Amino acid sequence: MTDNPRAVRCDVSRAPVALREDRGRGDPGERRGRPPRVRAFDPSAIAQARTAVIIPAQNEAERISACLQSLAVQDVAQPAAIYLCINNTGDDTAEVALETLSKTKVPLVLAEFDTGPGGVGEARCIGHCIARRFSPEATALLSTDADCLADRAWIRSMEEGLCRAPAVLGRIDPIPEECAALPGIYHARGRIEAAYMTLAMAFERLMETPGLSRIGLNTAGGANLGILTAVYGAVGGYRSLAFGEDRDLVDRVIAAGFVPDRLEESRVRTSTRSAGRAPGGMSYAIAARLRGRDCPLDTALLPFEAMIDRQLGNGSGRASRAMTVSEAVRDTPALEACIRILRTLPHAGDRRGYLWRLRADLGRAESGRTRPARGGSDRLWLMNEQPLLDEGKIAGRDPIQ
């Protein structure tokens, strides 16, 4: 395929070092040391764009057209500049993207390069470097993935959210048709995780955890994440991590004193494939749900006692391993009851004091190798009351027993 006549080749000689040291197209052994191949379509619109959308893509020929089409029909006053970062790819992703471009006419920058061990984190980092150089007017940087479909109001909603917060976490749902085709065991385990996640977020909000008051937990996903350009630069941007680069970025946003927000109304839909591109990504989680009896859950989740310890400064707040389905089933009743009591306490200091007493009770129970009896005098174990969540929503226990 010949180059699109609308394309303008971009000079990357003055781009950031991370970009200049990247690779070009061809066999990985031959590309090493070459600069990336960068082409801009509609350079004027790209330069004037107030928002840039950065998409890493690796062997996405089957899905990239639908992704770009969803971005081409966004309900916005001014089109965003789309940066498609094709990395470590041996298929026709670029050709399919150019074919789609001929029909959609979106302002597009097509960058082709290879990454090293940094994987998707390095690809996002390079993509953001390119975006900041070629869209100097952009005040908002949005991340999504090549296997995602953005709702029509996605960009507008993210832009509005970034008028109120320095960084925003959008909603990521599965593509309904693909999700419906997955077996029941996947959905059962998903209900358990969703129930525990809802409670964990409520717990963090009640405890007024610094930086988490609006998002509850750092569940950031690069498939739907936005950040102000100035804040992105202030915290150092994406790091070259093989996975977890999205949550690492939000952790540093919080550590810098900013308070990110969660936008449930700003949604993208992602594929439910179990063979993905990034280790530890969503595809990894889907594959884990489909195999094994006691699969790991989202790494943002901690067992109940570890959540208490983190609040009291007795733990790092980082799990040494992922929490499992069985641990969520075990801890959900205690977490429910704890939240019920925390909601009766008007001040953060009172809630923290309750956790200190609760932790002492749990320590005594552990030393005696027993927990307080259900329905006993300890207010944590108020299991005779109506649960905060319908137990049917976490009753996916039968399929995994």
pLDDT 10s digits, 187-246: 888 899 999 999 999 999 999 877 787 898 999 999 999 999 999 999 999 999 988 999
Q: Where does the pLDDT of residue 319 fall: very low under 50, low under 70, confident under 90, or very high at 90 and above?
A: low
pLDDT higher than 60, residue 42: yes
Region 251-258 average pLDDT: 96
pLDDT 10s digits, 52-67: 999 999 999 999 999 9
Q: Where does the pLDDT of residue 70 fall: very low under 50, low under 70, confident under 90, or very high at 90 and above?
A: very high
pLDDT higher than 60, residue 316: no
Q: Across the beta sheet with 167-174, what order do the strands follow?
A: 7-9, 37-41, 108-113, 81-87, 51-57, 140-143, 225-228, 167-174, 261-270, 148-150
Region 73-101 average pLDDT: 96
pLDDT higher than 90, residue 8: no
pLDDT higher than 60, residue 380: no
Q: Where does the pLDDT of residue 318 fall: very low under 50, low under 70, confident under 90, or very high at 90 and above?
A: low
Report the alpha-carbon distance of residue 46 to residue 39 in Å, rounded.
11
The answer to which of 30-39, 368-377, 390-399 has the lowest mean pLDDT is 390-399
pLDDT higher than 50, residue 165: yes
Q: Where does the pLDDT of residue 36 fall: very low under 50, low under 70, confident under 90, or very high at 90 and above?
A: confident
Report the alpha-carbon distance of residue 321 to residue 305 in Å, rounded.
15
Q: Where does the pLDDT of residue 13 fall: very low under 50, low under 70, confident under 90, or very high at 90 and above?
A: very low
pLDDT higher than 90, residue 315: no
Burial class of residue 178 (count of CB atoms within 10 Å of its CB; 0-12, 13-18, 19+): middle
**Residue 264 confidence (pLDDT):** 94
**Residue 285 confidence (pLDDT):** 72
**Residue 7 confidence (pLDDT):** 57
Structure tokens at 124: 């996002």
**Residue 197 confidence (pLDDT):** 96
Backbone φ and ψ for 345, nearest 5 degrees, come out as -100, 120
**Residue 32 confidence (pLDDT):** 42
Query: What's the pTM value of the predicted model, to 2 decimals?
Result: 0.83
Instruction: List the domain boundaries for the chain.
Output: 7-165+218-270, 185-213+295-401
pLDDT higher than 80, residue 28: no
Report the alpha-carbon distance of residue 89 to residue 27 in Å, rounded.
9
What is the average pLDDT score of the chain?
Answer: 83
Residue of higher predicted confidence among 362 and 227? 227
Q: Where does the pLDDT of residue 35 fall: very low under 50, low under 70, confident under 90, or very high at 90 and above?
A: confident
pLDDT higher than 80, residue 15: no
Q: Where does the pLDDT of residue 327 fall: very low under 50, low under 70, confident under 90, or very high at 90 and above?
A: very high
The answer to which of 7-21, 56-70, 135-149 has the lowest mean pLDDT is 7-21
Q: Where does the pLDDT of residue 276 fall: very low under 50, low under 70, confident under 90, or very high at 90 and above?
A: low
Q: Where does the pLDDT of residue 1 fall: very low under 50, low under 70, confident under 90, or very high at 90 and above?
A: very low
b/e burial code for range 36-73 (CB count within 10 A of at least 16 → b): bbbbbbbbebbebbbbbbbbbbbbbbebbbebbebbbe
Quote the CATH superfamily of domain 7-165+218-270. Answer: Spore Coat Polysaccharide Biosynthesis Protein SpsA; Chain A (3.90.550.10)
**Residue 388 confidence (pLDDT):** 43
